[in-house]
Structure 1
Amino acid sequence: MNSAAVYPPLNAPAANPFPNIPGYEGIAGGAALPPPIPLQPVTPPQPAPTPDDWKIPELSEEEARAAFKDYVESQCCYRSGPAEEGVITSLESFNTYRLRLETFTESRKTEMAEKPYEGEMADFYAQPAPTPWQVQANTPNLFKEDTQEIRVPYTSSIKECNPCRGEGKIPCEDCNGNGYKPCRICNGSGNNDNQRCLSCDGTGKDSCSKCNAEGKKKCKTCNGKKQLLTFIKLTVKWTNNKDIHVEEQNCGLNSNKIESVNGKELFTTSQNRVYPLYGFPNPAIAEASDRLIKEHQSKFEQTTRILQQRLTVELVPVTKVNYKWKDNIHVFYVYGNERKVSAEDYPETCCCVIL
Structure 2
Amino acid sequence: MMPVVPGYESLGPNVIPPSDLGPARFPAPCRAQERRFDIPAISEELAQEAFISYASSECCFSTKPAREMVFTDLRSLNTYRYLLETFTESRTKEWGGEPYNGQVVDDFREPPDPWSIPVPTPSLFQDCQKHIRIPHTSIIKGCHSCLSLGRSACRTCVNSGRTRCSSCGGSGRTEHDFCRSCQGSGMSRCHSCGGAGSVTCETCKGHGKLLCFITLKITWKNNIYVAVIDKGSGFPVKLLNQISGEKLLTDMAPKVYPVVSFPDSSVNAASESGVREHQAQFSTTCRILQQRQTIELIPITRVHYVWHEKTHVYFVYGAEHKVYSRDYPARCCCCSVL
How high is the TM-score relative to the length of structure 2? 0.89
Query: Are 2:194 and 1:212 equivalent residues in the alignment?
Result: yes
Out of 310, 325, 331, the residue aligned to residue 292 of structure 2 is 310
Within the candidate set 316, 323, 335, 1:341 is matched to 323
Q: 1:228 to 1:328 in 2, by over 3 A?
A: same
SS of the residue 1:38 aligns to: helix
Match of 2:64 in 1: 81
Q: 1:137 is aligned with what amino acid?
A: V
Partner Cα distance (2:157, 2:58) in 1: 63
Question: Could you tell me which of 61, 70, 76 is aligned with 1:93?
Answer: 76
Residue type of the alignment partner of 1:83: A
- Find the partner of 1:117 among 90, 100, 121: 100
- The more displaced of 344-353 and 178-187 is 178-187
The answer on whether the counterparts of 1:272 and 1:309 sit within 8 Å (CA) in structure 2 is yes
Q: Secondary structure at the match of 2:331?
A: coil
Give the secondary structure class of the aligned counterpart of 2:25.
coil
Rounded Cα–Cα distance in structure 1 between residues aligned with 2:212 and 2:291: 38
CA distance in 2, matches of 1:78, 1:271: 49
1:16 and 2:2 correspond = yes
Q: 2:251 aligns with which of 254, 262, 269?
A: 269
Residue 9 (structure 2) aligned to one of 1, 25, 34: 25
Q: 2:43 aligns with which of 60, 73, 87?
A: 60
Q: Cα–Cα, structure 1 residues 320 and 69, in superposed 2: closer, same or farther, change >3 Å?
A: same
Paired residues, number: 332
* Matching residue of 1:279: 261
What SS is found at the alignment partner of 1:323?
strand
Superposed CA deviations along residues 289-341 of structure 1, whole A, max 9, x for unmatched, are 11111111111122111111111000011111111111111111111111111
Q: 2:145 aligns with which of 157, 163, 166?
A: 163
Identify the residue that residue 242 of structure 2 maps to in structure 1: 260
Shift in Å, 1:47: 4.1
Aligned: 1:136 with 2:118: yes
Question: Deviation per CA, 1:11-59, whole angstroms, max 9, x where unpaired?
Answer: xxxx331x2421x1112x3x12212223596352234020656222431
Identity of aligned residues (%): 39
The answer to whether 1:293 aligns with 2:275 is: yes
Residues 1:177 and 2:159 aligned together? yes
Q: What corresponds to 1:319 in structure 2?
A: 301
Distance 1:45 1:69 in 2: 49
Give the match for residue 12 of structure 1. none
Counterpart Cα distance in 1 of 2:158 and 2:82 = 64
Higher mean C-alpha displacement, 78-87 vs 254-263: 254-263
Aligned counterparts of 2:311 and 2:114: Cα–Cα separation in 1: 66
- Which whole-Å CA distance do the structure 2 matches of 1:79 and 1:151 have between them? 64
Determine which of 229, 232, 251 is the counterpart of 2:233: 251
Unaligned runs of 5+ residues in structure 2 are none
Q: Contact between 1:160 and 1:226, CA under 8 Å: does it hold in 2? A: yes
Q: How far apart are the structure 2 equivalents of 1:243 and 1:88? A: 38
In proportion to residue count, which structure has more helix? 2
**What TM-score results when the alignment is normalised by the length of structure 1?**
0.85
Of 152, 160, 165, which aligns to 2:134? 152
1: CA distance, partners of 2:231 / 2:165 = 79
Supply the RMSD in Å over aligned alpha carbons: 2.7
| Residue ranges of structure 1 left out of the alignment (5+ in a row) | 1-14
What secondary structure sits across from 1:259 in the alignment? Answer: helix
Helix, strand or coil for the counterpart of 1:84? helix
Alpha-carbon offset, residue 192 of structure 1: 10
2:163/2:188 contact within 8 Å kept: yes
Say whether the 8 Å CA contact 2:39–2:76 is kept in structure 1: no
